[in-house]
């Protein structure tokens, strides 16, 4: 019996927000001092030219969404806000003390958790506290994630006044049965309301996140969700595959049974149906899992070959240095990665002792830097080449051998020293990247680490 490409390539694999991926970081060779030296080097190389990016993790949520694998703290006690904001600003102060000149901020992204858990006053205190020690780049871009159920008009207006022009709202799916299974009851009315508010206020890029492969989800559900989404016409969309990772501690993915999840061909059909509808409605596929209207900066970055991918997802511009503030945040200097502690209590304790809350990381060697560039090329441009000496590596012969079956299935075209992903191959980008992942090839995981690729 012939198996489908979906069945053939639906294996556990990384999402490649970094390379090396977090499970393959060499923590034994990492120290906080090495991270400090690395980010200082990156700062001197890039601050005056491109500025830096800040990712700020705001972990609190009022209720648990059982599809979510992010680091969060569930509470309805909003008195936690002020203490957390003060801690984040203390962390920023520690970084600024290590910089030789005033930072120029190109990007700020508020992620979570639920950033709109925080009050207007505390969000204003956070952003003003950041900006009082920095300058804004001429073409800066500030963005945040909003929960449609608790985002208020006043929050949107205040963040707009503070310089935010991009917002993304988590939608997931509009079917009531699916929403109950993932514990995310969110009427269409709420999403429409915040979307219209954002447009009225003047946000230039409004995004919606929708997911395929959720428990009990059907073709009819996806059609209904995409039709409703199109009626609101967000500027960009993330159309993610649901990452089923029930082994991650505290992610709460227990609101349904395994048999309730769409499998293989059924799940693939959900994606193909949604993708076709989005294409008909004027959305272009950007990188992995993302779509944008031609008027959006993400589309323009794609056509100009300026699309970038990091721990914040896809970005229309690239900065060499991204500093992650807040519990569990990951920083990136291009030469190294550093992650903060995942424990809020430990985060507070380290800051009280005037220590950066970094607890692990990875220093990239020359091979890592080359492979990282190839994976960025594949995920951002759907092609890569090793014709230049700087991108050649000795294992390329083995990589090409690993890609022969994928080439036979017409998912890629190999021409001399160049690989191009075909239209049929775009849903399998993660599998193609895995062929380049030398860490993964040298040591296959012995336990569950990654979600399925398709």
Q: Specify the pLDDT at position 245.
A: 61
Q: Specify the pLDDT at position 24.
A: 93
Residues with Cβ within 8 Å of residue 429, at least 6 apart in sequence: 287, 288, 378, 379, 382, 421
Q: Specify the pLDDT at position 254.
A: 56
List per-residue pLDDT tens for the chain, 454 residues long: 456 787 788 787 888 888 999 999 999 999 999 999 999 999 999 999 999 999 999 998 877 777 666 778 888 889 999 999 999 999 999 999 999 999 999 999 999 888 999 999 999 999 999 999 999 999 999 999 999 999 999 999 999 999 999 999 999 999 999 999 988 899 999 999 999 999 999 999 999 999 999 999 999 999 999 999 999 999 999 998 887 665 455 545 556 778 888 887 888 899 999 999 999 999 999 988 899 999 999 999 999 888 998 887 888 888 999 999 999 999 999 999 999 999 999 999 999 999 999 999 999 999 999 999 999 999 999 999 999 999 999 999 999 999 999 999 999 999 999 999 999 999 899 999 999 999 998 887 665 556 666 6
Q: Specify the pLDDT at position 74.
A: 82
Q: Specify the pLDDT at position 247.
A: 46
Q: Specify the pLDDT at position 344.
A: 96
Q: Three-state secondary structure along the chain?
A: CCCCHHHHHCCECCCCCCCCCHHHCCHHHCCHHHHHHHHHHHHHHHHHHHCEEEEEEECEECCCCCCCCCCCEECCCCCHHHHHHHHHHHHHHHHHHCCCCCCEEEEEEEEECCHHHCCHHHHHHHHHHHHCCCEEEEEEEEEEEECCCCCCHHHHHHHHHCCEEEEEEEEECCCHHHHHHCCCCCCHHHHHHHHHHHHHHCCCEEEEEEEECCCCCCHHHHHHHHHHHHHHCCCEEEEEECCCCCCCCCCCCCCCCHHHCCCHHHHHHHHHHHHHHHHHCCCEEECCCEEECCCCHHHHHHHCCCCEEECCEEECCCCCCEEEECCCCEEECCCEEEEECCCHHHHHHHHHCCCCCEEEEEECCHHHHHHHHHHHHHHHHCEEECCCHHHCCCCHHHHHHHCHHHHHCCCEEEECCEEEECCCCHHHHHHHHHHHCHHHHHCCCCCCCCCECC
User: What's the CA gap between 270 and 178, in Å, rounded?
Assistant: 14
Over its C-alpha atoms, the chain yields an Rg (Å, rounded) of 21
């Amino acid at each position: 019996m012939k198996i489908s490409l979906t069945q053939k390539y639906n294996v556990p694999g990384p999402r490649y927000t970094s390379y090396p991926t977090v499970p393959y970081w060499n923590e034994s060779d990492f120290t906080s001092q090495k991270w400090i030296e690395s980010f200082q080097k990156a700062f001197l190389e890039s601050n005056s030219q491109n500025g830096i990016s800040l990712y700020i993790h705001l972990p609190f949520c009022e209720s648990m969404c059982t599809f979510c694998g992010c680091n969060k703290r569930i509470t309805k006690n909003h008195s936690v806000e002020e203490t957390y904001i003060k801690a984040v600003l203390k962390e920023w102060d520690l970084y600024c003390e290590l910089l030789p000149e005033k930072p120029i901020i190109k990007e700020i992204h508020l992620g979570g958790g639920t950033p709109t858990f925080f009050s207007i006053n505390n969000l204003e205190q956070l952003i003003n506290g950041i900006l009082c020690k920095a300058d804004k780049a001429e073409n800066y871009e500030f963005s945040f994630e909003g929960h449609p159920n608790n985002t208020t008009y006043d929050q949107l207006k205040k963040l707009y006044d503070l310089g935010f022009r991009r917002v993304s709202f988590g939608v997931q799916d509009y079917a009531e049965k699916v929403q109950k299974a993932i514990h995310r009851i969110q009427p269409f009315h709420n999403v429409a309301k915040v979307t219209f508010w954002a447009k009225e206020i003047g946000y230039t890029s409004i995004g919606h996140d929708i997911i395929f492969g959720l428990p009990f989800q059907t073709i009819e559900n996806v059609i209904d969700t995409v039709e409703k989404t199109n009626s609101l016409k967000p500027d960009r969309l993330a159309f993610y595959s649901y990452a089923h990772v029930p082994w991650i501690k505290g992610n709460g993915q227990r609101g349904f049974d395994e048999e309730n999840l769409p499998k293989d061909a059924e799940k693939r059909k959900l994606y193909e149906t949604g993708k076709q509808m989005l294409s008909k409605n004027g959305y272009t596929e950007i990188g992995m899992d993302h779509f944008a209207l031609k008027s959006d900066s993400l589309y323009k970055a794609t056509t100009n070959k300026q699309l970038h991918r990091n721990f914040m997802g896809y970005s229309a511009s690239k900065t060499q240095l991204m500093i992650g503030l807040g519990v569990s945040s990951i920083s990136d200097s291009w030469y190294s990665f550093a992650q903060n502690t995942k424990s809020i209590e430990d985060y507070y304790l380290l800051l009280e002792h005037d220590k950066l809350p970094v607890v692990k990381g990875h220093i990239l060697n020359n091979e890592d830097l080359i492979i990282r560039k190839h994976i960025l090329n594949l995920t951002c441009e759907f092609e890569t080449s090793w014709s230049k000496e700087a991108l050649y590596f000795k294992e390329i012969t083995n990589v090409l051998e690993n890609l022969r079956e994928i080439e036979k299935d017409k998912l890629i075209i190999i021409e001399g020293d160049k690989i191009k992903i075909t239209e049929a191959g775009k849903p399998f980008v993660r599998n193609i990247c895995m062929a380049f992942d030398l860490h993964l090839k040298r040591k296959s995981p012995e336990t569950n680490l990654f979600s399925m690729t398709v």
